[in-house]
Amino acid sequence: MKKSMMFLVFCAIGLMVFLSSCSTNTNVTPVATTETASETSVMSTTTTETMSDTNEHIHSFGEWVTTKEPTCTETGEKERYCSCGEKQTQTIAAQGHSFGAWNTIKKATCTEEGVQERVCSCGAKETSAIPMIDHHYVNYVCDVCGKVNASEGLEYSLKNNTYIVTGRGSCNDSTLVIPNEHNGKPVTAIGKDAFRGNSFVNLFIPDSITSIEYGAFSHSWNLKSVTIPASVTHLGDYIFDFCQKLEKATFMGSVDSFGQGMFYGCKALKEITLPSGITTIGDSAFLFCERLTSVTIPEGVQFIDSFAFCDCKNLSTIKFPSSLIKIDGYAFNGCNKLNTIWFQGNRSQWSKIAIDSDGNSPLIKANIKFN
């Protein structure tokens, strides 16, 4: 009996389990159906959106209209509209300056750059440097800035913050041009024997030079002419002795002395302009100047030393100043063509001049004319 009851209980439990399982399967199917309906809904939505895109408004913009003009430096702006009222804007690039022709504000020189300027229609200005120009040399000197186109390679010594030219160094120029400055300092003197025995043909001395020392150009065989500027106030002895091709010498200013042997042995010398300010023509100053034909002694000279014009074989005319006091022996020895003397004083003054008769017979015999 118990076993029968037990069997029925188990059967009842089994039936309940079975029924429960069937109930669960029935609930799943409606879920699947619901998902399918959802998918159908999504497709419907997509279809609606596609239809919406197909009917969307396409803008049709008109012509661009400038609302702000661009300038040289600032951008402009333009805009355009669609019939629906939609607006587009766009930036217009700045135009950049439009400059006119260059105008010179300051001319360039050989020492300074110049300045030029040009102007835009908007008023903006642009400036630019004009490069320096070359020196314009006239007789070795720039007529703009005064720079001397000097020989290079010369030797110098520094004294009292100025330079003295002491030698030719590596310079081989046929025209020797002394500079007016070196290393930013003035060149004021030509030293003792600085160019003795050199072969240059022409010589230029700038107006920075104040002193020419003993023998500076002695034995410069090929030198043909020389001009001593007015700046030179001191001359040493024997500066041009035995410059045998020297034909012309000119002194532009006043010096403190005209010493011994200045043109000793200058056989080709034909023309001489003596400096003012001197009181003495030194010993042997023109000894053996065989081609010299006439000389004017400047006013202020008081003494003519021995052998000053000795053996000037072609000297025919000489002019003496009224300031003359004494003529030493042999001053005119060998001047056998001397026939005319012009004296700037009167006969009485001439008679007071102390003339040493030794070796001066050509002078004593010459015809004297008074001013």
Checking if the pLDDT of 21 tops 90, the result is no
Q: Per residue in 90-117, pLDDT tens?
A: 999 998 999 999 999 999 999 999 999 9
CB 262: neighbour CB atoms within 10 A?
26
pLDDT of the residue at 5: 53
pLDDT of the residue at 299: 96
Which comes out higher in pLDDT, residue 8 or 339?
339
CA distance 299 to 277: 8
Mean pLDDT of the residues in the chain: 88
Q: Per residue in 158-183, pLDDT tens?
A: 999 999 999 999 999 999 999 999 99
Checking if the pLDDT of 32 tops 80, the result is no
Q: Is 39 helix (H, G, I), strand (E, B) or coil?
A: helix
Please tell me what DSSP assigns to residue 54: H
**pLDDT-derived band of residue 8, with 50, 70 and 90 as boundaries?**
low
Domain boundaries in the chain?
102-134
Which pair of structure tokens corresponds to residue 56? 């969307």
**pLDDT-derived band of residue 275, with 50, 70 and 90 as boundaries?**
very high
Checking if the pLDDT of 133 tops 90, the result is yes
pLDDT of the residue at 41: 35
Q: Per residue in 225-273, pLDDT tens?
A: 999 999 999 999 999 999 999 999 999 999 988 989 999 999 999 999 9
Look at residues 297, 307, 294 and name the one whose alpha carbon lies nearest to residue 344: 297
pLDDT of the residue at 259: 87
DSSP assignment string, 47-101: HHHHHHHHTPPPP-B---EEEE---SSS-EEEEEEBTTS-EEEEEEPP----B--
Checking if the pLDDT of 33 tops 50, the result is no
Average pLDDT over residues 326-332: 98
